[in-house]
A = this chain, B = another copy of it.
Amino acid sequence: MQHNPSQGSNASKPEPGTQPGHTQAGHPQAGAGLLFLREEEFRIAQDKLFFAFRDLNAAPDAILHELGYGRAHHRALHWIGRMPELKVGDLLLILGITKQSLARVLGPLIREGYVEQGKGKVDRRQRLLVLTDKGVALERRLFEAARERLAAAYREAGGPAVEGFRKVLRGMTTEQGRKYLDALEAARSQKGPRILT
């Protein structure tokens, strides 16, 4: 995950050790077989989401750390890159944090020239966020750090699996989040295919 050089005597042996893994936690008195099977499947989803998240963020985290930034900065860069001219209010809704928490992350990004804010045309109270060239470059660097892992996963799993992957993740997302996913998709139908064909 992070930086764990030697120190006193922290964890060491990278061997997972033969864990029994009883999968206890529940099953008071069996009987409703299908119910428990279902439950185990949900727990598997949690297990795997945890590991995927952990391992996908490891490389970007290291880069961010060098720059004195953290994951919160990455999230902001990601979403501003994904939706240029994103309004501050939308970014808050996406991230699910308070204005004050965002400020601490966005402030430095703006001051150090990774993000710029324009005034809204329709509503001039709004600030529309965009990445500067420097911001695009950093976002790209972070993306490339995770890319290999993503590519390997897609390659190993194959096209149909990827489709299922996306379908399930969408299913776990609230209606609010889906609106943003849909907006991205709509943007793709306009601009994406043009590149391909």
Q: Which residues of A line the B interface, CB within 8 A?
A: 1-2, 4, 7, 10-14, 16-27, 30, 33-34, 36-56, 58, 75, 78, 81-87, 89-90, 92-93, 95-100, 130-131, 136, 139-140, 143, 146-147, 149-158, 160-174, 176-181, 183-184, 186-188, 191-192, 195-197
Of the A-B pairs whose beta carbons lie under 8 Å apart in the complex, a sample of 21, sorted by A's number, is A2-B96, A10-B98, A10-B100, A11-B89, A20-B83, A22-B84, A22-B187, A23-B184, A24-B81, A24-B131, A25-B139, A25-B140, A26-B81, A34-B196, A39-B147, A42-B150, A49-B49, A51-B174, A52-B172, A154-B171, A157-B167
The answer, among B7, B37, B100, B192, for a CB contact under 8 Å with A192, is B37
